[in-house]
């Protein structure tokens, strides 16, 4: 038994935590403390100089958050993780950890709206250029790379287009240029999909969605695979050169990367650099809540995907529905790739069009009873939204079309209720949408 690696359901429940000898607490305790008593002055000095690993201050690390980080890393077979206060903070840190003013990164253009705004507007103010490309062909990434490119970025399943790209092909392009591939896989974490299996180096998550799973806490994470050779070029001095904020410590050498060791240099640098300096720390309480969700992620994820498939099939044959954009359906252009990529199915978030355009979309949303009308995805409960009158209402009709938001689009995030109940609610709302 000892030689056989644990499966994902076991890891989700146990990785990173052993009951402590003082209390025997079986649940992961909430370490609601800002600071930690040092053994003596030498211990304190060693912790500050990174000569010893331990807790100093909760902005940097915390025992509850540590369990969450270890559990996320274990589920991916990665070397380390950094949990932060939101998915947006995780994305911002993943980019700025190794990119400075005057440099660029190449990104697929089918992005979550918040990420799009960060990349297009906010990072620009810091002199960092996002080069947007059509992610359906890895060659498009290749064409945009130049000597100032520092990473390649994309999302595992686009929202709302539900596109599933050739992620292995994109990773190969990045690696051929000595660049890491960073993927936002918020909508399909393991065991639905492990981005490290297709060549990704760094994964970012909004933990707010299916990982937390209950709509109770905002959080984000960066997970590192650990075998990217940051020292192969002089492009990543943030990781491989002496750090003036740690008395010239060379992290790449200290962690063994320079000697060919697999090591968590990316997330360690994000913690002791950006998290220390800008402080988007996850609160211990939120770490605890997200751990509660993570413990049942594998069984919830299976139920989400099974329900989504049945709901998509129901909608595709409904007389009040014009089209359904779900990669689990043979009608979707990326269906074959999706079925080969995602073990349980391509997630539970997708779009469909109601007959009758904008007004019918509005009537549909106002008629749902079991489904919740709100701006989130992958709560355990089924969620719906009409993007043209909400998330994208500030855009012109032309801009909405470019963003993949036609007036009749309904975005659904299929929950884990009894699927017959979800379908009955959608059916009555669709009938009302025609009136
Ligand atoms: C794919 C994706 N990435 C990142 C985020 C941002 O996460 P958060 O809201 O936790 O900051 C979201 C939020 O909806 C998302 O859908």
> Has residue 251 been placed in a domain?
yes
Residue 223 lies in a domain: yes
**Residue 278 reports pLDDT greater than 80:** yes
Identify whether residues 272 and 303 lie together within a single domain.
Answer: no
CATH classification of the domain holding 28: 3.40.640.10
Residue 135 falls inside a structural domain: no
Domain limit, last residue, from 273, 294, 315: 294
User: What's the rounded Cα separation, in Å, for the pair 68 and 70?
Assistant: 6
In this structure, is residue 375 part of a structural domain?
yes
Determine the distance separating the centroid of ligand 1 and the alpha carbon of 112, expressed in angstroms.
Answer: 7
Give the model's pLDDT for residue 395: 75
Domain region containing 281: 8-98+180-294
Ligand 1 pocket test, candidate residues 111, 114, 195, most atoms within 8 A of CB: 114
Averaged pLDDT for residues 269-277: 98
Ligand 1 center to 77 CA (angstroms):
23
pLDDT (0 to 100) of residue 398: 79
User: In this structure, which residue's CA is closest to atom 8 in ligand 1?
Assistant: 87
pLDDT of residue 1 exceeding 60: no
The verdict on 221 and 311 lying in the same domain is no
Q: Provide the CATH number for the domain around residue 342.
A: 3.90.1150.10
Q: Whose CA is nearest to atom 10 of ligand 1?
A: 87
**Is the whole model's pTM more than 0.95, yes or no?**
yes
**pLDDT, average across residues 365-370:** 96
Q: Percentage of the chain with pLDDT > 90?
A: 89
Quick check: is 312 in a domain?
Answer: yes
Residues 193, 83 share a domain: yes
How does pLDDT run across 224-266, given as a tens digit for each residue?
Answer: 999 999 999 999 999 999 999 998 999 999 999 999 999 999 9
On whether both 285 and 306 belong to a single domain, the answer is no
Which pLDDT value is given to residue 227? 97
> Is 227 found in the same domain as 266?
yes
Q: Which of 206, 207, 347, 392 has most ligand 1 atoms within 8 Å of CB, for mutation? A: 206
Reported as a single tens digit per residue, the pLDDT across 369-413 is: 999 999 999 999 999 999 888 877 777 787 777 778 898 999 999
Query: Which residue's alpha carbon is nearest to atom 9 within ligand 1?
Result: 87
Q: Which of 266, 294, 322 is the last residue of a domain?
A: 294
Asked if residue 108 belongs to a domain, the reply is: no
C-alpha of residue 253 to centroid of ligand 1, in Å: 34
Residues 324 and 224 reside in one and the same domain: no
Using CA atoms of 238, 225, 116, 210 in order, give the dihedral in degrees to the nearest 10.
Answer: -140
Q: What is the pLDDT of residue 335?
A: 97
> In angstroms, what is the span from residue 206 Cα to ligand 1's centroid?
5
Closest ligand 1 atom to Cα of 186:
1
- For residue range 139-150, list pLDDT tens digits in order: 999 999 999 999
Q: Which residues line the pocket of ligand 1, CB cutoff 6 A?
A: 86-88, 112, 114-115, 155, 184, 186, 206, 208, 218, 220, 377
Q: How many Å lie between the centroid of ligand 1 and the Cα of residue 37? A: 36
pLDDT for position 165: 97
Q: Are residues 287 and 370 in the same domain?
A: no
Q: What is the pLDDT of residues 155-212, one digit of tens each?
A: 999 987 899 999 999 999 999 999 999 999 999 999 999 999 999 999 999 999 999 9
What average pLDDT is seen over the chain? Answer: 95
| Co-location of 61 and 187 in the same domain | yes
* 218/263 same-domain check: yes
69, pLDDT greater than 70: yes
Instruction: Answer yes or no: is 310 within a domain.
Output: yes
As for how many domains the chain has, the answer is 2
Say whether both 263 and 320 belong to one domain: no
* 126: confidence class by pLDDT, cuts 50, 70, 90: very high
Q: Say what the pLDDT of residue 402 is.
A: 74
Same domain, 358 and 403: yes
Confidence class for position 2, pLDDT limits 50, 70, 90:
low
| Span 207-223, average pLDDT | 98
| Residue 332 forms part of a structural domain | yes
pLDDT at 62: 98
Q: What is the atom index within ligand 1 of the atom nearest the CA of 88?
A: 11
Distance 379 CA to ligand 1 centre (A): 13
Q: Are residues 371 and 237 in the same domain?
A: no
Last-in-domain residue among 294, 327, 357: 294
Q: CA 386 from chain center: how many Å? A: 23
pLDDT of residue 178: 98
């Amino acid at each position: 038994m000892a030689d056989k690696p644990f499966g994902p359901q076991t890891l989700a429940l146990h990785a990173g935590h052993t009951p402590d000898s003082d209390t025997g607490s079986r649940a992961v305790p909430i370490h609601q403390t800002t600071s930690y008593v040092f053994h003596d002055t030498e211990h304190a000095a060693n912790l500050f100089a990174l000569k010893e690993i331990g807790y100093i201050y909760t902005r940097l690390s915390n025992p509850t958050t540590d369990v969450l980080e270890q559990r996320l890393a274990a589920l991916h077979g990665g070397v380390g993780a950094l949990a932060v206060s939101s998915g947006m903070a995780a994305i911002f840190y993943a980019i700025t950890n190794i990119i400075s003013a005057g440099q660029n990164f190449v990104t697929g253009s089918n992005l979550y709206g918040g990420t799009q705004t960060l990349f297009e507007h906010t990072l620009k103010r810091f002199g960092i250029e996002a080069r947007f490309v059509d992610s359906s062909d890895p060659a498009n990434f290749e064409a945009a790379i130049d000597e100032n490119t520092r990473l390649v970025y994309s999302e595992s399943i686009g929202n709302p287009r539900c596109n599933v790209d050739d992620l292995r092909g994109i990773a190969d392009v990045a690696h051929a240029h000595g660049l890491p591939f960073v993927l936002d896989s918020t909508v399909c974490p393991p065991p639905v999909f492990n981005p490290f299996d297709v060549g990704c180096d760094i994964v970012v998550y909004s933990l707010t969605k299916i990982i937390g799973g209950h709509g109770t806490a905002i959080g984000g994470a960066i997970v590192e695979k650990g075998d990217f050779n940051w020292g192969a070029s002089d492009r990543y001095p943030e990781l491989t050169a002496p750090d003036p904020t740690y008395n010239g410590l060379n992290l790449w050498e200290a962690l063994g990367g320079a000697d060919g060791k697999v090591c968590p240099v990316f997330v360690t640098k994000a913690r002791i650099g950006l998290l220390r300096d800008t402080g988007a720390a996850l609160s211990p309480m939120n770490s605890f809540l997200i751990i509660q969700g993570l413990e049942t992620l594998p069984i919830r994820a299976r139920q989400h995907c099974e329900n989504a498939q049945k709901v998509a099939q129901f909608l595709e044959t409904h007389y009040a529905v014009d089209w359904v954009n779900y990669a689990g359906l043979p009608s979707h252009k990326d269906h074959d790739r999706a079925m080969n990529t995602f073990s349980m199915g391509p997630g539970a978030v997708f779009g469909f069009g109601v007959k009758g355009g904008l007004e019918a979309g509005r009537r549909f949303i106002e008629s749902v009873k079991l489904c919740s009308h709100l701006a989130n995805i992958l709560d355990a409960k089924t969620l719906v939204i009409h993007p043209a009158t909400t998330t994208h209402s500030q855009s012109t009709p032309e801009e909405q079309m470019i963003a993949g938001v036609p007036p009749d689009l309904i975005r659904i995030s299929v929950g884990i209720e009894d699927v017959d109940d979800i379908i009955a609610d959608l059916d009555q709302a669709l009938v009302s949408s025609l009136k």
